[in-house]
Amino acid sequence: MMHVMLDLETLSTRPNAAIIAIGAVAFDPQRMEVLSTFEARIRPDSADSLGGHVDMDTVSWWMRQPDAVRAQWDDEGAQFGNALSQLHTWLRGNQHGPLSALWGNGAAFDNVVLAEAFRAWAMIRPWSYKQDRCYRTLRALLPHIEEPPFEGERHTALADALHQAKHCMRLLAALRTEAQPNA
Ligand SMILES: [Mg+2]
């Protein structure tokens, strides 16, 4: 079973936000294992192409972040359309089986923004709306389940996605135990 946790770093909080980094982590919630990871940084001069929205409040937030976080504004990054097709290939072509669930942090954020980006680029998005899942909701329902320690730099796409994936596996395991206390 393959689930994927997604984390986008963006220049706006709107559904058509310009994306500057994509982190994604494939995991098996039953075996509680990370299967593989994906990361793409997008050249800033390509992030806002085809209408990606840039919001000055978000940009000024970025300017106040540490160097390791701002390094995601990478002139050597991918052209945005190429980053989307690499993500498409990673999601659909990896050997861990078909996608069962795509998790984002917020019912109205990562999955929605990514779907909007695929639409803007006239590319087929590599998941169904039936696979959309919200990690923020799951976390709120089980506040007693502790997060694992954070590794790496917060607000970098892959580190955030890895952290959320590990926490999500704990949350799903707790749900299984609470649903069947004697199992
Ligand atoms: Mg993030």
Q: What is the pLDDT of residues 147-156, one digit of tens each?
A: 999 999 999 9
Q: How confident is the model at residue 182 (pLDDT cuts 50, 70, 90)?
A: low
- Measure 12 CA to ligand 1 centroid, in angstroms: 12
Q: Into how many domains does the chain fold?
A: 1
Q: Quote the CA–CA distance of 183 and 176 in Å, as a whole number.
A: 9
Q: What is the pLDDT of residues 81-109, one digit of tens each?
A: 999 999 999 999 878 888 999 999 999 99
Report yes or no: 85 and 115 within 8 Å, Cβ to Cβ: no
- Measure 179 CA to ligand 1 centroid, in angstroms: 31
Residue whose token pair is 């959320």: 164
Q: How confident is the model at residue 1 (pLDDT cuts 50, 70, 90)?
A: confident
pLDDT at residue 136, as a whole number: 98
pLDDT at residue 97, as a whole number: 80
pLDDT at residue 181 greater than cutoff 70? no
Q: Where are the alpha helices (DSSP H) in 22-156?
A: 44-47, 56-63, 67-70, 80-93, 110-120, 135-141
Query: Minimum mean pLDDT among 6-10, 145-149, 157-161, 178-182: which range?
Result: 178-182
Does the reported pTM lie above 0.75?
Answer: yes
Q: Where are the alpha helices (DSSP H) in 39-79?
A: 44-47, 56-63, 67-70
Residue type, 83: A
- Measure 152 CA to ligand 1 centroid, in angstroms: 12
Query: Structural domain of residue 79, as residue ranges?
Result: 2-179
CATH of the domain at 38: 3.30.420.10
Alpha-carbon distance values, 171 to 57, 130, 134, 175 (Å):
33, 20, 12, 6
- Measure 183 CA to ligand 1 centroid, in angstroms: 35
Q: What is the pLDDT of residues 123-139, one digit of tens each?
A: 999 999 999 999 999 99
β-strand partners of 132: 102
